[in-house]
Amino acid sequence: MIKYCFIIIIPVFLFASLSAQTVYMVRPSQANPLVTENDDSNYIYINTSVPQLNRLFIFFPGTGAAPKAYKEILKTAANMGYHAIGLSYNNSQTISSLCNGEPADCQGLARAEIFYGQGSSAVVAVDSTHCIRRRITDLLHYLDISYPSAGWGQFLTPQDSIDWSKICVSGHSQGAGMASVIAYWYNVYRAAFFASGGDWSGTVQDVADWMKQPSATPASAKYAFTHIHDELLWNNFDFTPVMWDTMGLYSFGSCLDVDTLTTDYYGAHCFTSSRTISGISPIRYHNSPVADINTPFNANTPVYQPLWQYMLGTVPLAALDAKAKTIISVSPNPAGSYARLQLGCTEAEITISNTLGQYVHKQHVRNYTSVLDLSPYPAGFYFITAVTAEGAGTVRVAIK
């Protein structure tokens, strides 16, 4: 039986009005009176008028920023059915400045100190009262006691630990680095990184040591988004793909330019934007992926909101990964001048892109099998994507 495939468009989620949301502002010292540092209010959003996911979204602000600077991403998460928290934590100094000239294990030890508060780092000091783990636990207890019908206690285990399997971690800049290291330590439900993700050691010009360890969270649950004119990353943008590749994000295709996409993201896990951002902020491009002050709006809606929804989405990821393998395969891999393309249907749009997300070839195929001419392309890694009615599948191919 012949199986035909056609391009489809995935509809955007339609949300209830923001008026249905509830927002709480809770200082860490309200949840634990012993807190004396970094006491900016946590921002908490919930929307009980939409189906609840029974999942918690935790967002970590960038260096020196407070949760109130990221209301739009918190609203978006709440409207998707998440319980959403913008967390106040020890973020007054950048990890890169703290670890300047230090060994490659510095970043991991510093983040462990900020998270656990156990004296692991020589460059930062955070005690067990002020560490992230305690802040989250104290806040969940406070919310569960204050609003017993809202279900905040479900994110704690019977042993009073955080149930990371129910949590989507996310963050901006330094906060993205914190979200990514937590996703290495724990098997989280999902992870979304904005304007960063991972750590780079300038001392050894390589990813930080913690990124070379096995990740508890699979790459299929991780997503990243940055602006290519980022004032803090642009001069070092050559190492951002290295960090994202180390995290496994390129296993699902090259980074896509979100400005050219609408409602279909082709199964990709990393994204860039080149949109012009107005304003006089010296780091407006660095802020633009997610910070309220510089993220672009269309009327009252953030322009990047559809991408945020995709990154925080609720499609079963394991099912998507298994399905992608039935859509496309390429052999041999590594390939020479030619490779055999095998599809799960008779018709698909094929694109080939490099590691910078640039398309080098597009074609329409109408056979289960075909031969790809790879001779025009220099040796290196490429991503071959097939878009069909059953979804999109991407394979990474090395050309010798």
pLDDT tens string 87-126? 999 999 999 999 999 999 999 999 999 999 988 899 999 9
pLDDT at 255: 87
pLDDT at 390: 66
The model's pLDDT over 178-198, given as tens digits with 9 standing for 90+, comes to 999 999 999 999 999 999 889
pLDDT at 357: 58
Residues with Cβ within 8 Å of 319's Cβ and at least 6 positions away in sequence, in order, are none
What is the domain partition of the chain in residue ranges?
Answer: 18-314, 321-399
Q: Which two tokens stand for residue 7?
A: 């391009």
pLDDT at 33: 98
Band of the pLDDT at 356, cuts 50, 70, 90?
Answer: low
State mean pLDDT over 70-90.
96
Fold of domain 321-399? Immunoglobulin-like (2.60.40)
Domain pair 18-314 / 321-399, same fold: no
* Spatial distance between the Cα atoms of 297 and 281, rounded to a whole number of angstroms: 16
Q: Is the pLDDT of residue 223 over 90?
A: yes
* Spatial distance between the Cα atoms of 90 and 74, rounded to a whole number of angstroms: 20
Residues with Cβ within 8 Å of 88's Cβ and at least 6 positions away in sequence, in order, are 27, 28, 38, 39, 40, 41, 42, 61, 66, 67, 135
* Spatial distance between the Cα atoms of 194 and 365, rounded to a whole number of angstroms: 35
Q: Is 380 exposed, middle or buried (0-12, 13-18, 19+ CB in 10 A)?
A: exposed
pLDDT at 90: 97
Tell me which of 45-49, 223-227, 329-333, 379-383 is least confident. 379-383
pLDDT at 325: 63
The model's pLDDT over 239-248, given as tens digits with 9 standing for 90+, comes to 888 899 999 9
Domain 18-314 CATH class label:
alpha beta
Range among 53-62, 267-276, 343-352 rated most confident: 53-62
Q: Provide the edge-to-edge strand list for the sheet that holds 380-388.
A: 359-365, 348-354, 380-388, 391-399
- Number of neighbouring beta carbons within 10 Å of residue 257: 16
State mean pLDDT over 320-340.
76
For 110, the enclosing helix (H) or strand (E) is: helix 106-116
The model's pLDDT over 12-49, given as tens digits with 9 standing for 90+, comes to 333 334 457 899 999 999 999 999 999 999 999 999 98
pTM for the predicted model, two decimal places: 0.77
Check residues 102 and 344 and name the one with the higher pLDDT. 102
Band of the pLDDT at 315, cuts 50, 70, 90?
Answer: very low
Band of the pLDDT at 263, cuts 50, 70, 90?
Answer: low
Residues recorded for the chain: 400
Cα 145 vs. chain centroid, distance in angstroms? 31
Q: Which residues of 279-302 are buried (b: 16+ CB within 10 A; e: fewer)?
A: eeeebbbbbbbbbbebbeeeeeeb
* Residue among 295, 288, 84 at smallest CA distance from 170: 84
State mean pLDDT over 117-139.
95
pLDDT at 293: 96
CB 85 within 8 A of CB 56: yes
The model's pLDDT over 149-173, given as tens digits with 9 standing for 90+, comes to 999 999 999 999 999 999 999 999 9
Range among 264-273, 312-321, 381-390 rated most confident: 264-273
Share of the chain above pLDDT 90, in %: 60
CB 241 within 8 A of CB 209: no
Residues with Cβ within 8 Å of 221's Cβ and at least 6 positions away in sequence, in order, are 183, 188, 189, 190, 191, 317
Tell me which of 107-121, 153-167, 213-227, 330-344 is least confident. 330-344
Please state whether the peptide bond connecting residue 332 to the residue before it is cis, i.e. omega within 30 degrees of 0: yes
CB 217 within 8 A of CB 191: yes
Query: 348: which strand partners?
Result: 365
Residue 309 Ramachandran class (φ > 0 left, ψ -120 to 50 alpha, else beta): alpha
Band of the pLDDT at 391, cuts 50, 70, 90?
Answer: low
- Number of neighbouring beta carbons within 10 Å of residue 131: 20
Provide the pairing of β-strand 348-354 with 359-365.
antiparallel
